[in-house]
Amino acid sequence: MEDNLDTFFSENKFDFHEPHSGHAERFKRKLNNPGKVNKTSWKWLSVAASVVLLVGFWLGANQQPTQLDLADLSPKMEETQNYFVATIHHELKELEKHRSLDTEVIIEDALEELEKLEDRYKYFIDELNENGYEKRIVYEMINNYQQRLEILNNVIQQIEEIKNTNTIQKDEAYI
């Protein structure tokens, strides 16, 4: 643990310089004599900003075309999509817990594959919006989620094998 801290502080540069002379006095002066703020201009500015935000949200909501997704097709499809999304997020968190120098390449390769599958899924969404509900598209979307989970499960298995190999090698070194 101490080696890690020593390494961290030796590799990073920190600013250890003293502030200029009179710093404390200038700071105390600024604390005791805050500059005058014109409160009425701030009120008008906040009202104007609120109006601009409301108009922006209204325009944004009315301008965005409605895009179908798997969850929009039926309650069962929504349940299916929610299950896959939650499971994938859980597996990604699990994957990040095991990130180390030994596993970095495997994890990055898996993330690239997931990105390709995400792009493919966006293509299916576009196809669903153009053609409407088709079983083939729905099947491909669900299959896409399944492929992502398979990739994540395979990577986690590979990481476990690497950990076991490293543990065995350490144990053999002590013998």
Please indicate, yes or no, if residue 5 is contained in any of the structural domains: no
What is the 8-class DSSP label of residue 28?
A: H
pTM, rounded to two decimals: 0.57
Please indicate, yes or no, if residue 87 is contained in any of the structural domains: yes
The answer to whether the Cα torsion of 161, 162, 166, 167 is positive or negative is negative
Q: Range of 49's domain?
A: 20-64
The tally of domains found in the chain comes to 2
pLDDT digits 0-9 by tens, 26-64:
878 877 876 655 555 667 677 777 777 777 777 766 665
Asked if 160 and 106 touch (Cβ cutoff 8 Å), the reply is no
Closest by Cα among 149, 129, 18 to 67: 129
Is 75 in the same domain as 59?
no
pLDDT digits 0-9 by tens, 138-166:
899 999 999 999 999 999 999 888 888 87
Count CB atoms within 10 A of the CB of residue 143: 13
Closest by Cα among 58, 84, 59 to 70: 84
54-67 b/e (C-beta count within 10 Å ≥ 16 → b): eeeeeeeeeeeeee
Please indicate, yes or no, if residue 8 is contained in any of the structural domains: no
Is 26 in the same domain as 91?
no
Q: What is the pLDDT of residue 130?
A: 87
